[in-house]
């Protein structure tokens, strides 16, 4: 079995790169925005102001690094933890909060559970809860792009737990056979909810699983923005040149719970968490910027204050939006309203009017 190769911080040089050299300060600001939003969403759920949330704290460099190596025309197939990917893609913070609340401004019109957003205008597919389903979807879209001769790649984001799913095997097998322009980006945050990575597989790494499907497996430090950027950019170049798919394993650590329904203190120790936080990706990039003379503690304090204020105000604006009209459940079902649906809607309206239904 071929050994997965690690990626250093040195960026590859290529005249065909679609992605420009990354702006580290821009990346840092995005990572801070993602962290501040993450912290706020956890508090909002505990306060009962949103119903559910899946935090990404500790995975910011992996998500922003991967996103910055993609082109606008590429398609993103997320799991349910890719807030930083959405923000890096240019999704407005207000749109994220609208979806978490399911208000009248929610672009998905309340059709999805919280934290399962999607944005067609930036090729960001709606997330799904079932583990690994986005993997096969990304491969199918890539196969379609091949047939249409579209110069794009698709990227599927998933966690270490998804590597044990049926869709992981089916997706990577199809991708390998048909040499699809797909990047499989595994954020190995060490825990599939409460199951540690070492109890999930006997493989030395998750990246080496790519060899079984005939594709390169790349192991990368997910706390290193430049290393992630480099790995994804190289995989994208390979895919566009006809070299087929790549499996990337970004080693990170989930600082928070799997979701707001989870208590990580039941399955991991404070010592484990403290050790992981010593490799905090945000502190790492901040240190690099300070060492390069591009950042100071004063500027950092100012940035955090501004970002946290922006997050708070944006959520308060979203919270003031009108609730979703309950009649909207009859919209977007059929292209043309059927007689049966029209009858059901008329009955629904009558029961609302007569007070039979209490909303």
DSSP 183-211: EEEEEE-SEETTEEGGGT--SS-SGGGGG
Mean predicted confidence (pLDDT) in 168-187: 98
Question: Both 335 and 308 in a single domain?
Answer: no
pLDDT band at 318 (very low <50, low <70, confident <90, very high): very high
Report yes or no: 56 and 216 within 8 Å, Cβ to Cβ.
Answer: no
The verdict on 331 and 274 lying in the same domain is no
Active-site position among 35, 233, 236, 254: 254
Instruction: Assess whether 206 and 258 both reside in one domain.
Output: yes
What letters, b where the CB count within 10 A reaches 16 and e where it falls short, cover 33-44? bbbbbbebbbeb
Model confidence at 109: pLDDT above 50:
yes
Number of C-alpha atoms within 13 angstroms, CB side, residue 147? 7
- How many domains does the chain contain in total? 2
> Both 191 and 142 in a single domain?
yes
Lowest-pLDDT range of 55-59, 239-243, 247-251, 349-353 = 349-353
Over the stretch 44-98, which tens digit does the pLDDT of each residue have? 999 999 999 999 999 999 999 999 999 999 999 999 999 999 999 999 999 999 9
User: 65 and 159 share a domain?
Assistant: yes
Is 53 catalytic? The answer is no
357 and 225 part of one domain = no
pTM of the model: 0.91
What pLDDT, on a 0 to 100 scale, did the predictor assign at position 9?
A: 35
Confidence of residue 126 (pLDDT cuts 50, 70, 90): very high
Q: Convert the pLDDT of each residue in 321-355 to its tens digit.
A: 999 998 888 988 898 999 999 999 999 999 988 88
**Which pLDDT score is estimated for 20?**
63
Q: Residue 34 belongs to what domain range?
A: 5-323
The phi, psi pair for 81, rounded to 5°, reads: -125, 15
Specify whether 137 is located in the same domain as 211: yes
Same domain, 145 and 12: yes
Model confidence at 10: pLDDT above 70: no
Helix or strand (DSSP H, E) at 66 = helix 60-68
**Same domain? 216 vs 338:** no
**287 plus 332 within the same structural domain:** no
- Same domain? For 351 and 318 the reply is no
Question: Is 258 considered catalytic here?
Answer: yes
Same domain (yes/no): 129, 271: yes
User: What confidence tier does 7 reach under pLDDT thresholds 50, 70, 90?
Assistant: very low
- Number of neighbours of residue 25 by Cβ within 10 angstroms: 14
Per-residue pLDDT, 19 = 56
We report the CATH number of the domain holding residue 256 as 3.40.50.970
Q: Which of 89, 116, 233, 258 is the catalytic position?
A: 258
Q: What residues are paired with 258 via a beta bridge? A: none
Among candidate residues 107, 267, 279, 310, the one labeled active-site is 267
């Amino acid at each position: 079995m071929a050994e997965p190769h690690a990626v250093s911080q040195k960026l590859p040089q290529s005249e065909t790169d679609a992605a420009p050299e990354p702006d580290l300060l821009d990346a840092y600001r995005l990572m801070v925005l993602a962290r501040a939003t993450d912290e706020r969403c956890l508090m909002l759920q505990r306060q009962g102001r949103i119903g559910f949330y899946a935090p990404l704290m500790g995975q910011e460099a992996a998500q922003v690094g991967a996103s910055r190596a993609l082109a606008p025309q590429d398609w993103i197939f997320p799991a349910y933890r890719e807030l930083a990917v959405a923000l890096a893609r240019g999704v407005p913070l207000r749109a994220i909060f609208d979806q978490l609340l399911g208000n009248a401004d929610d672009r998905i019109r309340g059709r999805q559970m919280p934290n399962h957003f999607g944005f067609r205008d930036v090729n960001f597919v709606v997330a799904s809860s079932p583990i690994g389903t986005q993997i096969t979807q990304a491969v199918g879209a890539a196969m379609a792009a091949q047939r249409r001769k579209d110069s794009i790649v698709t990227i599927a984001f998933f966690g270490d737990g998804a590597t044990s799913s049926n869709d992981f095997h089916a997706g990577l097998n199809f991708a390998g056979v048909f040499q699809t322009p797909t990047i499989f980006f595994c954020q190995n945050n060490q825990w599939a909810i409460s199951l540690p990575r070492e109890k999930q597989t006997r493989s030395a790494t998750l990246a080496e699983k790519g060899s079984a499907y005939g594709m390169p497996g790349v192991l990368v430090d997910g706390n290193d923005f430049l290393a992630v950027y480099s790995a994804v950019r190289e995989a994208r170049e390979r895919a566009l040149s006809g070299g087929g798919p790549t499996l990337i394993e970004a080693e990170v650590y989930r600082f928070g719970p799997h979701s707001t329904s989870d208590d990580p203190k039941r399955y991991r120790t404070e010592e484990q968490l403290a050790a992981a936080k010593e490799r905090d990706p945000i502190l790492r990039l901040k240190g690099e910027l300070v060492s390069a003379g591009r950042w100071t503690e004063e500027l950092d304090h100012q940035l955090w204050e501004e970002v946290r204020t922006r997050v708070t105000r944006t959520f308060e604006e979203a919270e003031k939006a009108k609730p979703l009209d309950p009649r909207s459940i009859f919209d977007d079902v059929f292209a043309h309203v059927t007689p049966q649906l029209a009858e059901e809607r008329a009955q629904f309206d009558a029961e609302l009017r007569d007070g039979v239904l209490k909303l």
